[in-house]
Every structure is written in C-alpha cells, then in structure tokens.
C-alpha cells in the first residue's frame, strides 16, 4: 500500500501536461480506516529505518545500559504511527482487513469475483 501511495503521489507531482484524455483518478479512499492505514504507511516509510537502528542499540548486550536507556526515551518520543508493525494489509478495493491475499492485495471475495469473471490473468478454477 505504501508503494501504491508513493506511486500515486509521484504521478501527481510530475503532472504530464500533454494528456488531454482524462482517466479515472481515485480521489477518495474506501473508508477512514483505509485513510489512516495510508497515513501510517507514509510515516513508516520515513521513520522505519531510524526506529530499526534505535532498536538495534536498545536490544543489545554489548553497549552500556545508559546508552540504551537514552535510546528508549528517543524511541518513545517518535510518533506511534511510524512503526511498521501498525500497518495492516487491507484489501485495496474494499478495505477488508481480513482474508486478504498478499499477491493481489485483494480480499478473498473481490478476488473470487474477478476470477470468476475472467478478469484475473492466469487465474483458473482449481480442479484436480
């Protein structure tokens, strides 16, 4: 989802002027939960590395404990949405939090709908 959001932002940034035929652009997210997930992804993209490094200092038996306590305070000061663990792989079309296949980023119901209408390339009903 972070990648999709990034791509979307990049596309909007470098506006290609010679494109007279307007395409459908998704201006709204499916629901607020999806919006919050998008925010979390954006923030995690920025701060996840720092979080990882600070954690590496914290979860350590070599470095002195004082340093690790300082690191604890630092990581607590970071915004909560910056941690990557808070990201939920929701369905891209319906924002369903559960039953989402990672490869297609779709919930099982949507996947089944598209596959039955032969709109999923290379997906076939299993029979053996």
Q: Does 67 contact other proteins by CB under 8 A? A: yes
Interacting residue with other proteins among 49, 99, 109, 116 (CB under 8 A): 49
- Per the listing, tokens 């307007």 go with 22
Query: CA nearest 35: which of 10, 5, 9, 78?
Result: 5
Return the range that interacts with other proteins (CB under 8 A); candidates 14-22, 40-48, 109-117, 120-128.
14-22
Q: Does 30 contact other proteins by CB under 8 A? A: no
CA separation for the pair 69, 73 (Å, rounded): 6
Min separation Cβ 26 and other proteins, Å: 14
CA separation for the pair 89, 72 (Å, rounded): 28
Min separation Cβ 66 and other proteins, Å: 6
Count CB neighbours of 34 within 10 A: 20
Q: Which residues contact other proteins (rule: CB under 8 A)? A: 16-21, 49-50, 53, 56-57, 60, 62-64, 66-67, 70
């Amino acid at each position: 989802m972070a990648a999709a959001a990034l791509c979307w932002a990049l596309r909007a940034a470098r506006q290609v002027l010679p494109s007279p035929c307007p395409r459908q652009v998704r201006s709204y997210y499916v629901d607020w939960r999806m919006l919050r997930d998008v925010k979390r992804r954006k923030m995690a993209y920025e701060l996840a590395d720092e979080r990882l490094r600070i954690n590496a200092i914290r979860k350590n038996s070599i470095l002195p404990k004082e340093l690790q306590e300082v690191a604890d305070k630092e990581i607590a000061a970071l915004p909560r949405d910056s941690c990557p663990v808070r990201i939920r792989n929701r369905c891209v079309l319906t924002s369903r939090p559960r039953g989402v296949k990672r490869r297609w980023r779709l919930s099982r119901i949507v996947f089944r709908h598209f596959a039955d209408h032969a709109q999923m390339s290379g997906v076939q009903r299993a029979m053996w």
